[in-house]
Amino acid sequence: MLLVCATAEAGDALAGILRKGRWAVRPARSAEEALDHLSRHTTPVVICESSLPDGDWRDLLDKAPRLIVTARDAGDELWAEVLNLGGYDVLAQPFDETEVSRVVASAGRN
């Protein structure tokens, strides 16, 4: 799984939850780093913060089989946009461990 978080706080919190679920986590801090990884590796699930220093989640949409977007302001508008454009789901920050586990497990199964 590729975890694209520009903020260390969000990345560390999410990585901790994912590692408890025994997911292998590859971190990236920018869209460029994530796109480079996705061009060289098959990565079934990508979790990406809604905005990054050099782009946003839309930059990864066509490269990620299942893209989960995360944001502090994860309201209905973001959720609708992500799903309408082909993203998998949205996770609100601060993270709820049960919800993260449920969404990531579902994405991994599909």
Burial of 70 (0-12, 13-18, 19+ CB in 10 A): buried
Going residue by residue through the chain, which has 110 residues, state the pLDDT in tens, using 9 for 90 and above.
Answer: 999 999 888 999 999 999 998 899 999 999 999 999 999 999 999 999 999 999 999 999 999 999 999 999 888 999 999 999 999 999 999 999 999 999 999 998 87
Q: What is the pTM of this model?
A: 0.95
Give the pLDDT of residue 27: 96
Query: What number of CA atoms fall less than 13 Å from residue 1's CA on the CB side?
Result: 25
Architecture of the domain spanning 2-109: 3-Layer(aba) Sandwich (3.40)
Give the pLDDT of residue 46: 98
Give the pLDDT of residue 33: 97
Instruction: Report how far residue 110's alpha carbon sits from residue 102's, in angstroms, rounded to the nearest whole number.
Output: 12
Q: Where are the domains positioned within the chain?
A: 2-109
Give the pLDDT of residue 41: 96
Give the pLDDT of residue 110: 75
- Report the amino acid identity of residue 74: A
C-alpha torsion angle, residues 8, 9, 13, 19 (rounded to 10):
10
Instruction: Report how far residue 89's alpha carbon sits from residue 71's, in angstroms, rounded to the nearest whole number.
Output: 11
